[in-house]
Amino acid sequence: MLEVNDLHVSYGSVNAVRGVSVSASRGRVTLVLGANGAGKTTSLRAVCGLQKAVGGSVTLDGKEILGQAPHRTVRQGLVLVPEGRKVFAELTVEENLRMGAYTVARGTSEKTLAEVYEKFPILAERRAMHAGLLSGGEQQMLAFGRALMSQPRVMLMDEPSMGLAPAMVDRVMTGVRDIADTGIAVLMVEQNADAGLAVADDVVVVERGEVSWSGTADAAQADTALVRAFLGEAALGV
């Protein structure tokens, strides 16, 4: 289980994250909602060691990991699927996947590679293709697969549906749900609230660097103010 408590991150004199607390549990998707600039991505980057935090605590199964280098957090079971996918365009699909397994034993990685191909058949079909030639949705599947190659217990996902066609958004979100259903804890920042809520178990709303609401996805969808803010008046059915 991932526990983030009272996280603080600053950029010079600007307090971008001010006391954010959020958790992600095995087999569940925790969705983080908020406007652009609310501190969502900064929080994810601090959790995985890409951004220095100035205060707070991040524990993975009870062990403190805040402030550790990213490669150390990966070895301990936490991996980030970054905004924009960040695949290696000049490498093949399979080479990208194998890059994700640099922290695990080769014998184990071969088994995981077969499991990734089974979960995302399109990657098996495209295994010899350069990643830069894939569609946006296929690249997102590749980013998921590359993260899975590290055999994580927790996956952080930053805007997985960004820039995708509506039909592909559904496929990507199904992939998110499938990953959680294998027992991995998922903490996902997602601007498409409708798509995110469709697969989430828990929801946290961040405003101006602080948590303003938290609860189950069912409770979020029943909260008129939240629905109006993130899904619009039409979603209220009035």
Q: Are 35 and 221 in contact (CB under 8 A)?
A: no
**Three-state DSSP class for residue 5:** strand
> What is the secondary structure of 61-72 as a DSSP string?
TTEE-TT--HHH
**Residues with Cβ within 8 Å of residue 176, at least 6 apart in sequence:** 29, 144, 157, 160, 186, 188, 199
> What pLDDT is stored for residue 173 in this prediction?
95
Q: Are 12 and 185 in contact (CB under 8 A)?
A: no
Domain CATH for 136: 3.40.50.300
Dihedral of CA atoms 117, 120, 124, 125 in degrees, nearest 10, equals 160
Q: What residues of the chain score a pLDDT lower than 70?
A: 233-238
Token pair for residue 33?
Answer: 């909602």
Residue written as token pair 């000049």? 90
Rounded Cα distance between 141 and 48, Å, is 21
> What pLDDT is stored for residue 238 in this prediction?
47
Rounded Cα distance between 223 and 180, Å, is 25
> In angstroms, how far apart are the furthest CA atoms of the chain?
57
Rounded Cα distance between 74 and 152, Å, is 7
pLDDT, tens only, 17-76: 999 999 999 999 999 999 888 999 999 999 999 999 999 999 999 999 999 999 999 999
Residue 102 has a CB neighbour count (10 Å cut-off) of 12
State pTM to two decimals. Answer: 0.93
How many structural domains does the chain have? Answer: 1
> What pLDDT is stored for residue 151 in this prediction?
95
Residue-level length of the chain: 238
> What pLDDT is stored for residue 108 in this prediction?
86
Host domain of residue 112: 2-236
Rounded Cα distance between 18 and 6, Å, is 7
Q: Are 216 and 179 in contact (CB under 8 A)?
A: no
Token pair for residue 24?
Answer: 């992600």
> What pLDDT is stored for residue 199 in this prediction?
97
> What pLDDT is stored for residue 13 in this prediction?
85
